[in-house]
Amino acid sequence: MRVLKWTALPVVLIAIWWFATAGSEEFYVPPLQTIIESAPDVWTLDRLRADVLPSLLRLLAGFTLALIIGIALGVLIGGRPRVRATVEPVLEFLRAIPPPVLVPVIMLFAGIGDGMKVLVIVSGCVWPILLNAVEGVRAVDGVLTETARSYGLTGPARLWRLTLPAAGPQIVAGARQALSVAIILMVISEMFAASSGIGFTIVEFQRSFAIPEMWTGIIVLGLLGVLLSGLFRLAETAILGWYHGLRRAQKG
């Protein structure tokens, strides 16, 4: 039943795509059948190793770095009302800058290697995580804080057992936004001056008018997104099991 619920809509959409494009003469919209048939030739094991893997590694590096920076700064800022009041407008400003416009700038000082791409991903991902962490840390319940204080919970123990778990739901919400930003930036960063990666591959196909192959790249990207969000959901269930239970209990 559950499997059916998850797969019903995708199956319908694929079917619509299939029949709508069947026998299509349009050069840019080839039949889905053609696209699927070309996929095994394009996405060989070598290709996966040469293009998908580097993309994923850069994504992972950027996302992880953004998590570490975002949470660390978030804890520092969120716990200090004065600091927060000072930096919050600046953070909102920085967050409002669309990260892709930074790509040429980042290229100037970070070159065109993996470092640049990771930096681009970090520069976009860090904001939702940081702002949510600030908010989550700020909103730690007062009674809980006093309880912790009265039982001598200080320093690292306070951080690990009070602040981070209490801000956890907010941080995870930020991380979820950040993940989708990360995927977008992964692709964009590979469209500038790259020699490998999914984004690079798609652009290459586009420029050589290999349209069905280009479409397969886009589908691979989509599948990657589904896979990553699935993994994220697993991690979330592990980390925030208590929170979902609490919410259910409060709803009665």
Q: How many helices (H) and strands (E) does the chain have?
A: 12, 0
Contact string (CB under 8 A) for another protein, positions 182-221, x = contact: ----------------------------------------
Which residues fall within 8 angstroms of residue 212, CB to CB, at 6 or more apart? 30, 34, 35, 37, 38
Calculate the CA 102 to chain-centre distance: 18
Nearest CA among 242, 250, 222 for reference residue 10: 222
Q: Is 246 a binder of another protein (CB under 8 A)?
A: yes
CB of 45 vs another protein, minimal distance in Å: 42
- Phi, psi values for residue 187, rounded to 5°: -65, -45
CB of 151 vs another protein, minimal distance in Å: 4
Q: Is 101 a binder of another protein (CB under 8 A)?
A: no
Q: Is 115 a binder of another protein (CB under 8 A)?
A: no
Nearest CA among 177, 98, 87 for reference residue 132: 177
CB of 91 vs another protein, minimal distance in Å: 27
Contact string (CB under 8 A) for another protein, positions 136-175, x = contact: -----xxxx-xx-xxxxx---x---xx--xx-x-------
- Phi, psi values for residue 196, rounded to 5°: -155, 170
Q: Is 245 a binder of another protein (CB under 8 A)?
A: yes
Whichever of 116 and 171 has its CB closer to another protein, that residue is 171
Nearest CA among 176, 182, 181, 180 for reference residue 235: 176
Q: 51 near 196, Cβ under 8 Å?
A: yes
Among 4, 26, 250, 251, binds another protein (CB under 8 A): 250
What are 134's two structure tokens? 């600030």
Q: Is 67 a binder of another protein (CB under 8 A)?
A: no
Site of interaction with another protein (CB under 8 A): 141-144, 146-147, 149-153, 157, 161-162, 165-166, 168, 242-243, 245-246, 249-250
